[in-house]
Amino acid sequence: MLKSSKKLVALMMALVIMVSTAACSTDKSWALKNDSLTTPIGAYIYYLYYAYQDAESAKPDASKPVLEQKIDGKDAETYIKDKALNYTKMLFVINDKMKELGLTLTADETKSIASTTDSQWQQASSTLEKYGISKTSFNLVYSDYGVKSQKIFSALYGKGGKKAVSDADLKSFFEKNFTDFNFIYAPMYSTDASGNAVAFTDAQKTTLKKEFDGYVTDIAAGKKTIRQAADAYKTSSKQTADPLQSVTADLSSSTSYPADLVTMLKAMKNGEVKAAEISGTYLIAVKNDITKKTATELGTDNGRNSIIAQLKGTEYSADMDKLAAAYTNVTINQKALDSYKPSMFVTATSSAAASTAPSSAASTASSK
């Protein structure tokens, strides 16, 4: 009887220890969940990292550590954690919107998601894995999110959507904001045997400018087209690549072209040709009548969707951000979230994760 009592006491003590241990432990496998979606903790960590990078860019004093500063009236840690939580909630907003609009992924879209994840994971994994972010989490927050967000945007603003943009509005926006132009450029430097750039001498600059100014005179007089001028320069410079560039772009939002070129083009009239020295190059530009490109640009799904994205992307992003900030249909694993601090990224120097940062709704709409 005594032995049985001792065994019973030992068993009870073991049970107490097990219950106590279970009560103190935290399940860190998930971050947020509801009846239709459970986000792994890696998704939250990824967004925490992205929010940390965002805070670094937004900090008011570049000379001080970001975590010692305030951003938008909040201490940096609170700012970062709030952003990360809202980014994670966005996954639920996207999930709900897909159901609300009756959208599903096609087989091709599913393959595209997997392919994007495979290619991007190769460069991002070395940084992300050390913080506890798995390939599965990365797939959810990056590739899967991007495709679904674009699909939702198209369903809302595309033909037949609840917020469909009319052809007239698209035409007006395109012709008001876009510029169509051609240009030929030549660098005003050469490359030495070691691959170093060597600036042109005054004599070399004079020779190049004389040739290009001659093309401008011929184009303005109708003796040559910009195409013929490009071919002539290709021959004289012994290039193998086509030196003629043709562009249709919203120069107000694009960062691809030097500010001096943008300023010059905006001041030009349709059909006008100019030569100028810009950013270490000498170039010729011809500005075309944008209305002649309207039918071509808006006549394809890709072209139309691109213009819609630029017209409505900011609106879409703001609407989705508001939904995420107000989202309550979710259980938050607060203990798990609290166990990860922005300070864990202080020594992070890799740009791998930054290059695969989650797209904002606006940029997703325009690029994915």
User: What per-residue confidence (pLDDT) applies to 356?
Assistant: 63
pLDDT of residue 335: 96
What domains are defined for the chain? 30-164+300-367 (no CATH), 172-293 (3.10.50.40)
User: What pLDDT score was predicted for residue 302?
Assistant: 87
DSSP sequence for 150-164 = HHHHHHHHSTTSTTP
pTM for this one? Answer: 0.77
Alpha-carbon torsion angle 148, 151, 156, 157, nearest 10: 130
> Residue 338, Cα to own-chain centre: how many angstroms?
28
Q: What is the pLDDT of residue 340?
A: 97
Average pLDDT, 10 consecutive residues per value, the chain (368 residues): 49 46 66 97 98 95 95 96 98 98 97 97 95 97 97 94 94 96 94 85 94 97 97 94 95 89 96 95 97 94 91 96 97 97 78 54 42
Rounded-to-5 percentages of helix, strand, coil across the chain:
60, 15, 25
Specify the pairing of strand 197-199 against strand 189-191: antiparallel
Give the alpha-carbon dihedral of 304, 310, 312, 315, to 10 degrees. 160
Contact criterion met (CB below 8 Å) for 124 and 352:
yes
Q: Tell me the per-residue pLDDT of 156-212, one tens digit each, with 9 for 90 and over.
A: 999 899 999 999 999 999 999 999 999 999 999 988 888 888 899 999 999 999 999
